Amino acid sequence: MEDERGKFQGSALYSSSSQIALRKVSDQPLRSDDELLELLRQRVRQAVAYRKTLAIAPQSNAYRVVFSEGDALPGLIADRYNDVLSYQALTQAMDRADIKQVLVGEMMSLLAEAGVTRAVERCDARIRELEALPPRPDTMLLGGDQASTIYTLNGVRFHYEAVGGQKTGAFLDQRENYATAAAYAHGKSRALDVFCYQGGFALHLAPRCSTVTAVDSSRPALEVAEKNEGLNRVENSSAREIEWIEANAFDLLKDYSAAGQQYDIIVLDPPAFAKSKRVLETAARGYKELNLRAIKMLRPGGILVSCSCSYHLSESDFLAILSSASADAQRNLRLLEQRTQSRDHPIILGIPETKYLKCIVLQVT
Ligand code: SAH
Q: What is the pLDDT of residues 335-363, one digit of tens each?
A: 999 999 999 999 999 999 999 999 999 99
Given 97, 128, 161, the domain boundary residue is 161
**Ligand 1 atom 20: residue of nearest CA:** 217
Give CA 30 to chain center in angstroms. Answer: 33
Q: Same structural domain for residues 56 and 143?
A: yes
> HSE of 224 in the Cβ direction (CA atoms, 13 Å)?
22
Lowest mean pLDDT: which of 3-7, 179-183, 247-251? 3-7
Q: Is residue 217 in some structural domain?
A: yes
CA of 290 to the centre of ligand 1 (A): 13
Average pLDDT over residues 143-161: 94
Q: Same structural domain for residues 192 and 59?
A: no
pLDDT tens-digit map of 265-288: 999 999 999 888 889 999 999 999
Average pLDDT over residues 253-264: 97
Q: Is residue 259 in some structural domain?
A: yes
- Residues assigned a catalytic role: 309
Given 161, 186, 207, the domain boundary residue is 161
CATH number for the domain that contains residue 49: 3.30.750.80
Q: Same structural domain for residues 194 and 259?
A: yes
Determine how many CB atoms are found less than 10 A away from the CB of residue 160. 23
pLDDT at 239 over 90: no
Give the residue, out of 173, 175, 217, 308, with the most ligand 1 atoms within 8 A of its beta carbon, to mutate for a pocket test: 217
Average pLDDT over residues 171-185: 98
Q: Is residue 111 in some structural domain?
A: yes
Domain range holding 306?
Answer: 172-364
Helices (H), 143-276: 175-183, 200-205, 219-231, 249-258
Residue 163, pLDDT score? 83
Give the residue, out of 153, 159, 168, 197, with the most ligand 1 atoms within 8 A of its beta carbon, to mutate for a pocket test: 197
pLDDT tens-digit map of 81-121: 999 999 999 999 999 999 999 999 999 999 999 999 999 99
d(CA 22, CA 38): 19
Residue 150, pLDDT score? 97
CA of 120 to the centre of ligand 1 (A): 25
Q: Same structural domain for residues 179 and 157?
A: no
pLDDT at 19 over 80: yes
Number of structural domains in the chain = 2
Average pLDDT over residues 159-179: 89
Residue 275, pLDDT score? 83
CA of 321 to the centre of ligand 1 (A): 20
Determine how many CB atoms are found less than 10 A away from the CB of residue 7. 7
> HSE of 175 in the Cβ direction (CA atoms, 13 Å)?
26
CA of 68 to the centre of ligand 1 (A): 24
Q: Is residue 235 in some structural domain?
A: yes
Q: Is residue 21 in some structural domain?
A: no
Q: Across the chain, what does the average pLDDT equal?
A: 95
